[in-house]
A and B are shown apart, each in its own frame.
Chain A
Amino acid sequence: MADNILEVRHLKKYFKTSRGMLHAVDDINFTLERKKTLGLVGESGCGKSTTGRAILRLLEPTSGEIIFEGKDLNKLSKTQMRHMRKDMQIIFQDPFSSLDPKKTVSQIIAEPIKENKIITDKLLREERVLELMETVGLAERYINTYPHELDGGRRQRIGIARALAMEPKLIVCDEPVSALDVSIQAQILNLLKDLQEKLGLTYIFITHDLSVVNHFSDDIAVMYLGQIVEKAPAEELFDNPIHPYTQALLSAIPIPELGHQRQRVALRGEITSPIEPPEECRFAKRCLMCNPEICKASVPVLMEVSPSHFVACPLKQKEMGLLK
């Protein structure tokens, strides 16, 4: 049996707005094996970051179960959850706004260790900070600098060191390299990969960059307006995308190669509103293959079309004989 560290069942996060309920995350299900990486991809507003935050209960989920190492996080009290968060950390997108500008590198990294009373002795704590700095490749001389004195790449390393301070098992990486230049981006991606191997970490890797997610993830879940529309092992997803949205998304990646001829899968129109969405396929309005009779009949569900490959497109499901 697979050693699953996390299982998410029917996770929903709705926000109240003046025009009705905004369905940011709408019935998401997945399991994540220990020491693996799940990539969550999608365009802005698809609910990938909200999903990441709801899993850590940084945003209280509207409903659903989040089973982390056998415990349903949604049933834990605030104090219990605080303890639990030692095992689950997050790295944020923007290394410019996620670090306290009034604290030094040492104070930022030491904060979780101090707050959670992991190491109470000041000197020992500093030793641990130095050790963490070395792990993430930050030179010792930066220990007393402030975030504004450092570049984006080094700032992101601080964010990673802070997340590692608690010796977590799961890290949610929310667009960790999107704000960085390519040469620095590659440094950070390599670091995250090395740390995963060395420390046995499990990642949820949230990004809009498809070539990065392909490189980084074992499994990829493609989100569209709060729902997972396709999920498969990375290679399978890129070789054999089935959902029309995944196909469009993959075909839109500009490839830095000569003579690359892409067959772009065109989309039409603009995104459906996530506020009180209709009970139909949310991609229908942009999909050129849409057959209203089938696509607007009900909300599509994820079905396994081949081993480990799940698709929520009623048209394709029908084609494959999975849907009557």
Chain B
Amino acid sequence: MAEEHDILNIEDLKVRFETEDGTVYAVNGVNLRLGYHKTLGLVGETGAGKTTTALAMLRLVPDPPGVVECKRLEIDGQDVRGMSITKLEQVRGKDISMIFQDPMTALNPVFTVGQQIAESIEIHEHLGKAEALEKAGDMLEMVGIPRARANEYPHQFSGGMKQRVVIAIALACNPKLLIADEPTTALDVTIQAQVLELMNELKEKYDTSMIMITHDLGIVAEVCDEVAVMYAGRIVEQGSLEEVFGKTMHPYTEGLFNSLPNIKNRTAKLKPIHGLMPDPTKLPEGCPFAPRCNYATEDCRKAVPELHRASGTHMVACSAYERDKNFMIDRRKR
């Protein structure tokens, strides 16, 4: 049968956390589709809802206080929403797996790295202990660690090595979709470059689709085909790497680019986005970015702009484009 579905299809995902101090609206209507063998960069700052979106895909949002609502949540054509826990456990780690940000805390200190990689192989591929450990050794070699080190404990590894182990665990069962949540943020640049190169290689080799959650636009440029920019729990701009980086449309995306020091023009003054992210318990009416936006008008504060197709696969949620089709941001002017 031809693959008619995508690896990931989410419609109108909403996540809120009901806490004593009020309700935190973390994700507010996210639509996301990802084709096979593609890599999507999910970009945004702290509190944008990137990680919560990812956790919701795996149904890992703690409930309570989390409340997840969603019109559609399909991974590889399977509806994850009503799935039983048993079935869900087969999907997690096998079809979809996640690399967490901090390799220092993602590993269990009392098991050897070999045992930790073998664990998911044993469960998902129904192999015996010895065989699973054997395969764990293969995985270690694949991420560039000698298999003899399988008997060592996490504390015996450096940060970069630990993250390689975490990658080995995530890829052990050859998942169709890999979610990497800031996988290199805790690492030094030279080590980061090695890990990114490794991820690029493995992605090619195993034909894995990937969602790369990051705040670093440099990393996006390096590994992603598609980009979705999140702000206050919504996707504000989405498209291919060329579209979003080459023809930036949303003022927030522009602001992110302008906040970065330009390595080729060191004297250029930075143009930060003024103000702060809105409080997720009290989101402003209308466009959540309007209070910080240089182009905002009264209309922007009235209604939340929907994500509209601008051209090709390029989508933008900004009412400036609804008012004036030719509204365009030229970030090369900086």
Give A residues with C-beta under 8 Å from B: 43-44, 151, 153, 181-187, 189-190, 208, 210-212, 214-216, 234-235, 238, 248-249, 251-258, 260, 264, 267, 270-271
Q: How many B residues have CB within 8 A of the partner chain?
A: 46
Interchain CA distance A190-B161 in the complex, whole Å: 36
- Asked if A258 and B246 sit within 8 Å, CB to CB, the answer is yes
Interface positions of B from 162 to 197, Cβ below 8 Å from A: 188-194, 196-197
Q: Which residue of A lies closest to B197 (CB)?
A: A264
Cβ contact of A255, chosen from B159, B196, B241, B263, cutoff 8 A: B263
Interchain CA distance A214-B265 in the complex, whole Å: 9
Q: Which residue of B lies closest to A214 (CB)?
A: B266
- Asked if B272 and A190 sit within 8 Å, CB to CB, the answer is yes
- Asked if A248 and B221 sit within 8 Å, CB to CB, the answer is no
30 A-B pairs within 8 Å (CB atoms) are namely A43-B189, A153-B276, A181-B215, A181-B277, A183-B45, A183-B255, A183-B259, A183-B272, A186-B271, A187-B272, A189-B261, A210-B263, A211-B262, A211-B263, A214-B261, A215-B262, A215-B270, A238-B263, A238-B266, A248-B190, A252-B190, A253-B189, A255-B221, A255-B263, A256-B217, A257-B221, A258-B221, A258-B242, A258-B245, A267-B190
- Asked if A189 and B188 sit within 8 Å, CB to CB, the answer is no
B residues less than 8 Å from A267 (CB atoms):
190, 194
Q: Which residue of B lies closest to A270 (CB)?
A: B158
| Known contacts A182-B45, A183-B255; is-contact A214 B263 (Cβ 8 Å) | yes
Interface positions of B from 128 to 168, Cβ below 8 Å from A: 158-161
| Known contacts A186-B270, A190-B269; is-contact A256 B189 (Cβ 8 Å) | no
Interchain CA distance A249-B188 in the complex, whole Å: 10
With most chain A CB atoms within 10 A of its CB, the pick from B192, B193, B242 is B193
- Asked if A184 and B193 sit within 8 Å, CB to CB, the answer is no
Interchain CA distance A232-B266 in the complex, whole Å: 15
A residues less than 8 Å from B241 (CB atoms):
258
Interface positions of B from 205 to 221, Cβ below 8 Å from A: 215-221
Q: Which residue of A lies closest to B276 (CB)?
A: A151
Cβ contact of B189, chosen from A153, A181, A214, A252, cutoff 8 A: A252
B residues less than 8 Å from A248 (CB atoms):
190
Interchain CA distance A208-B184 in the complex, whole Å: 14
Q: Which residue of B lies closest to A181 (CB)?
A: B45
Interchain CA distance A25-B221 in the complex, whole Å: 36
Across chains A and B, the number of contacting residue pairs, with CB separation under 8 Å, is 109
Q: Which residue of B lies closest to A267 (CB)?
A: B190
Q: Which residue of B lies closest to A182 (CB)?
A: B259
- Asked if A235 and B219 sit within 8 Å, CB to CB, the answer is no
Q: Which residue of A lies closest to B47 (CB)?
A: A181
- Asked if B260 and A182 sit within 8 Å, CB to CB, the answer is yes
B250: shortest Cβ distance to chain A, in Å? 14
B residues less than 8 Å from A151 (CB atoms):
276
Cβ contact of B46, chosen from A181, A249, A256, A264, cutoff 8 A: A181
- Asked if A271 and B158 sit within 8 Å, CB to CB, the answer is yes
Interchain CA distance A43-B159 in the complex, whole Å: 12
Q: Which residue of B lies closest to A252 (CB)?
A: B193
B residues less than 8 Å from A44 (CB atoms):
159, 188
B244: shortest Cβ distance to chain A, in Å? 10
| Known contacts A183-B45, A184-B272; is-contact A210 B190 (Cβ 8 Å) | no
- Asked if B276 and A215 sit within 8 Å, CB to CB, the answer is no
Interchain CA distance A211-B159 in the complex, whole Å: 22
Interchain CA distance A253-B269 in the complex, whole Å: 20
B residues less than 8 Å from A251 (CB atoms):
193
B273 located at the interface, meaning its Cβ lies under 8 Å from any Cβ of chain A in the complex: yes
Q: Which residue of B lies closest to A212 (CB)?
A: B261
With most chain A CB atoms within 10 A of its CB, the pick from B160, B191, B245, B259 is B259
B257 located at the interface, meaning its Cβ lies under 8 Å from any Cβ of chain A in the complex: yes
Interchain CA distance A215-B272 in the complex, whole Å: 14
Cβ contact of A189, chosen from B158, B190, B256, B270, cutoff 8 A: B270
- Asked if A256 and B260 sit within 8 Å, CB to CB, the answer is yes
Interchain CA distance A238-B196 in the complex, whole Å: 23
B residues less than 8 Å from A257 (CB atoms):
221, 245
B222 located at the interface, meaning its Cβ lies under 8 Å from any Cβ of chain A in the complex: yes
A residues less than 8 Å from B215 (CB atoms):
181-182
B residues less than 8 Å from A255 (CB atoms):
218, 221, 263
- Asked if B256 and A183 sit within 8 Å, CB to CB, the answer is yes
B residues less than 8 Å from A215 (CB atoms):
261-262, 266, 268, 270
Interchain CA distance A248-B255 in the complex, whole Å: 30
Interchain CA distance A255-B263 in the complex, whole Å: 8
| Known contacts A257-B245, A260-B221; is-contact A43 B188 (Cβ 8 Å) | yes
Q: Which residue of B lies closest to A41 (CB)?
A: B189
Cβ contact of A270, chosen from B161, B193, B256, B276, cutoff 8 A: B161
B residues less than 8 Å from A186 (CB atoms):
258-260, 270-273
Q: Which residue of A lies closest to B190 (CB)?
A: A252
Interface bits B72-110 vs A (CB < 8 Å: 1, else 0) = 000000000000000000000000000000000000000
Cβ contact of B190, chosen from A153, A187, A238, A249, cutoff 8 A: A249
A46: shortest Cβ distance to chain B, in Å? 9
Interchain CA distance A183-B197 in the complex, whole Å: 27
Cβ contact of A208, chosen from B161, B189, B217, B274, cutoff 8 A: B189
Interface bits B41-63 vs A (CB < 8 Å: 1, else 0) = 00001100000000000000000
A residues less than 8 Å from B272 (CB atoms):
183-187, 190
- Asked if A254 and B196 sit within 8 Å, CB to CB, the answer is yes
Interchain CA distance A254-B241 in the complex, whole Å: 15
Interchain CA distance A187-B219 in the complex, whole Å: 22
